[in-house]
Chains A and B, each alone.
Chain A
């Protein structure tokens, strides 16, 4: 494992190719890897399948890639906060697969944990259950949901070190930890970059072995300014 994974945004983006499946952390712009998404905007990559809880928030996030025609399919839980994603779907420009939020998180976690899938009660009796195997365990019925894996994952963390150890902040954690594990090549943008050991080992949320490349976050691509509260 290389001990210094810090690369330029361009170098990190060179690992993403047209036709790939890309998983993205974040939820309604909380913890969205906006630096990496903007990096992807500047490439020629297209025909992507993207896995993300939401399409972003209003005009920020994955919706920006959708508007550029780079996304063929979006696997998500909620696209209602990005009207342009809904519009692309209705126009037939974008395929959308909607998945319950907890199921999506567990599919990504399972994909990274070497599991084929898991059993959940979520979605029983709804369209989500159609054409899925129903399995009874101890008298209770569950759906078999299969794991998800991606070629590349894009995540954002508040703190990271040069090994790729990551620590998230507040509700910006959300899908980033499961996203970091579910692919072959995880790229992390970090707001604050530390030397190994500066983040206490007990405080590491995503161990560096999952992360292949670390990019300094462009703080321009963040929500409103931090407060003292």
Chain B
């Protein structure tokens, strides 16, 4: 399980470029911080009101006035700052956050993302996700390819309430990477170790095309 999560997070971290301001959602996206490539320096924004988030403190050093959007204790790197929620979401909507990473329940070929509610079952609220999808310049969706029941999370069309319409730019699973192009929708660009292009076809309900230069064994666990 953790291998799947780290496989996704490690590939996602390869999307980072030096100097970016990024926001990491709860769950697998949080792990991206552990895989930032050498030589790449990014600044982490937390939507509850911090920029320049550093490593988690050890338990004895945690402080109730210094937490992230999941409520976990944080530290700041030198130069980081704290601010209120109106300012924080102004940063997000205003295009000052370059890249966001979030998990999802469903994502479809039009870039629609449904991540916050299963009607009648899971009613938690959208939190900051709608603002992040609308405002971040690039949206990376990190998800396991299939649900526990084996059905594809990359669906033909989202059936749960949308968090964002047409906002997904990159989808990264433990099996494949799809990138959305303006003219041709999602393109399968990379297949992880242990899978073939046909394997991906068999477990993906979303519309996509296969790149002429699709990379096999592009990432994932070493044999």
A: which residues have CB within 8 A of B? Answer: 27-31, 53, 57, 76-81, 86, 89-90, 96, 98, 100-103, 105-106, 108-109, 120-128, 158, 168-178, 205, 222-224, 226-229
Contact = CB atoms under 8 A, between A and B. Distances in A.
B82 A173 contact: yes
Interface of B: 46-50, 57, 60-68, 70-71, 74-75, 82-86, 88-90, 92-93, 112, 123-131, 134-135, 161-166
B73 to A, nearest CB: 9
Contacts of A77: 125-128
Nearest to A178: B86
Contacts of A127: 161-162
Contacts of A168: 84
Contact of A30 (B64, B88, B128, B166): B64
Contact of B123 (A28, A89, A101, A128): A89
A31 B65 contact: yes
A80 B84 contact: no
Contacts of A171: 46, 48-50, 65-68, 74, 82
A177 B131 contact: no
A167 to B, nearest CB: 12
20 contacts: A29-B71, A30-B64, A78-B125, A79-B123, A81-B71, A100-B130, A105-B86, A121-B93, A125-B166, A170-B63, A170-B66, A170-B67, A171-B66, A171-B67, A171-B68, A171-B74, A173-B82, A178-B85, A205-B84, A228-B61
If over half of B's interface residues share one DSSP class (helix, strand or loop), that class is named, otherwise mixed; here it is: loop
A126 B133 CA distance: 12
Contact of A227 (B46, B48, B60, B71): B60
A125 B162 contact: yes
A229 B84 contact: no
A123 B82 contact: no
Nearest to B83: A173
Give me the 3 closest cross-chain CB pairs, A-B, nearest first: A125-B165, A223-B64, A102-B89
Contacts of B165: 124-126
Given A109-B86, A227-B62, 12 more contacts: A30-B71, A80-B125, A86-B123, A123-B134, A125-B112, A126-B163, A171-B74, A172-B65, A177-B86, A226-B64, A229-B61, A229-B63
A27 B126 contact: no
Given A105-B89, A171-B50, A30 B65 contact: yes
A79 B64 contact: no
A122 B66 CA distance: 27
Contact of B64 (A29, A78, A90, A228): A29
Contacts of A226: 63-64
Nearest to B127: A78
Contacts of B47: 101-102
Nearest to B124: A80
Most buried by A among B49, B62, B75, B93: B49
B71 A122 contact: no
A152 B86 CA distance: 20
Given A106-B86, A175-B85, A30 B130 contact: no
Contact of A57 (B71, B83, B85): B71
